[in-house]
Structure 1
Amino acid sequence: MRLRDLPSVDELARQSDDPLAVEVARKVVTRAREQIQQGDDPGDLGAQLQAELTSARAPHLRRAINATGVIVHTNLGRAPLADAALDRVREIAQGYSNLEYDLTAGGRGSRQDHVADILRRLTGADAALVVNNNAAAVMLALAALAEGREVLVSRGELIEIGDGFRIPDVLERSGATLHEVGTTNRTRAADYETAIGPETAVLLRVHQSNFRVVGFTAQPSLRELADVAHRHGLPLVDDLGSGALVDFSDEPTARASLAAGADLVCFSGDKLLGGPQAGIVVGRADLVEKLRRHPLQRALRADKLTLAALEGTLALVIDAPDEIPVLRMLRESPEVVRARAARLAELVGGEVEETIAKAGGGALPLTELPSFACAVEEELAVKLRTGDPPVIAVVRDGRTLLDCRTLTDAEADEAAAAIAAARP
């Protein structure tokens, strides 16, 4: 094809009645012109137009099947929601709600009231507040309690969380000043005691949820930190990060943190809690009220769909925790996972391989969960990833592994169909 043989944009666009046809046709013709100038054949422009229109109309945020064995997979959206949480979202999203309306008083209410009671019940806190993620919760707490003043943090807790965000940066954006205490591997309660001065506003403890320091180490207990803080009339803020409300061997709960003397505890809603993305703050009523009245709270507050999903999830923590997908996957026995892998392997002619699953999301970094995968040909990985729905697996030792700890039985059937479609 020569340049003079190219159709005009209008001519190509008339092959479709899609409102996007002119815009897409312009893109197709421009690309074809560049290809001809480079000596290449641009191919069937009409087919390209249809393919581009199909791509433009397809949703970009798509459901995916997680066969990686990483339960709280940040890149794949972290915690899948329970059916009860989805039901609450659908109910609230399809119409109006009492988000900020007090049905008893017949006047304006607070969106924070909808989950405050159940959070108090689950954690033993005096009060609670919800914002859009845990980094926001920490930033709001420091802005409300320590803006223009110092926050004491151990050098061993100046961690980096996902996508390059660092605790010192969050602290700086809050308007507070960082005062480092101790060393990377050894910090004692006395280090905090010595560092406290007239400009000190808060002691901040950051839980090492996404790593551990081992060997020649020392770290004060939360109760020891609370004693130091309270002797000087200062609040202790505990950033738990992963946010467990049920007991895990290596992860403190919000209730335990408050019982040990923390004045405020911040944690995530979409990690070990298994709910929607949210930052939850629980603790002393007077401090929570300072956060609620701070101007940043309005910018960081959670929306009605987040609150609906969170309320649904929190109810399950009390009544049926194993119905929360994250908790179910963390607790599921290796025998059940192996049986799922064996069934998938039988369906697709694969092999069962023993693997190690992880909690993910920066939680329980040292915990290894015995798991089993269905192993198939390495070359299927790309086809599975680009299929509909995408199946995200792991390539290891020349094979594609579909870890069955992060698959439901129904998803295993979908994965089997995807493998069959991907094979020649």
Structure 2
Amino acid sequence: MTTSRSNIIWIFGDQHRGQALGFRGDPNLHTPNIDRLAAEGVVFDQAVGGCPLCCPYRGSLISGRYPHQAVPGHERQLPPEMPTVATAFNEAGYDTAYFGKWHLDGFHEREGRAAMHIIPPERRGGFKTWCGYENNNAQFDCWVHGGEGDDAFHYRLPGYETDAMTELFIDDIRKRASGERPFFSVLSVQPPHNPYTTTEDWMGRHTPAHIELRPNVPPNPAIRERAQRDLAGYYAMIENLDWNLGRIRTALDELGIADDTHIIFFSDHGDMHGSHGQLLKTSPWEESIRVPCIIGGSKPYYDNKVGCRDNPVNHVDLAPTSLGLCGIDVPDWMAGTDYSAERIKDKATPNYPNSAYLQLVEPTGHANSIDRRWRGIVTRDGWKYVALEGQPWMLFNLNEDPYELANLAFNSIYGKVRQRLQTELAEWIERTDDSFSLPEL
């Protein structure tokens, strides 16, 4: 294989916030395999889940379009006719495979358990191999399906989801390793999404009373106790995911294809775990929107293209970046930016956006979720501005206030900064043909 036709792997969990990593200084967990991937690759410090909610994020990830252009809300379906990242890789002669959580078929949990919902082949995003499920919040009772006709299957995975799904994923890579076609393969697992539990050996490593909370968790006993209890399981799940990443890298080494395989490790969004008194997701605070984003692998081709980058990478950017890593032209229907030049030697660096666009297009109405529509931006130079409809909401200088303890949105001293950022936000709304009523300033 040549560098222009390398393999590429996506590995991502659900609700894995960007702060919860060993190399990020979180004292509560050890992630040696993720840390190694980061040390050998490129880390995007300012990567975000531009819509911190499963379905809209996944729609943007797969389609390279913003949520209002693809999947605007929870339990909404990805339009079956919409081309995806798999479409582009298929057209370039790749084998494409998807394993794990999909959550793009619009199934409503009120109609039954989503794990039992069968997604028809024409609504699996164009992946040639597909083995997954719509949604599942029971990591020890995970059902997968795939195939079609006489080859269709639906069965319960043995044991814990991340372990069993990784086993399927590695088996599939073994089949592809000796083939003539390069491959694009995706592993999407539910953990560390709640319920926060994994196998006993991992759970035994963490005790709630020993969990160190972030400084922005308020001194409310009920909030702190819940956060510590949940985080004990959450960190155990991340360490298990880290271990499974190590299994995949070992398999690539044993198969002799590690040097020809890019690995992108990321997450769809984060999890508040008590910060600012909030739980779960859908909010624009850092714990909800910041995600891991690491490009590693294929070491021989890079000539010191390692280290941290401050580009505000968003959900729409991973598909074009993946195509760029493999030397494939990015189709014009993708709205995102190709950041592959940050990893590939001698590739010209284009003009990158100065900010990333944040959205909650449709509130879910769920408990512990934001119940208003909002839009916002995070900038490369460390500012965040978020507005509700007709109302400023948040303004933070993240360089000086990383825990977002001082909201400057209503401080007259920062009126010019707020105006500048709202102008940039208005440009994003117009550029993406979005619809949102910004406040009058």
Query: If the length of structure 2 is used for normalisation, what is the TM-score?
Result: 0.27
Larger fraction in helix: 1
Query: If the length of structure 1 is used for normalisation, what is the TM-score?
Result: 0.27
Which structure is higher in RCO with an 8 Å CA cutoff and minimum separation 6? 2
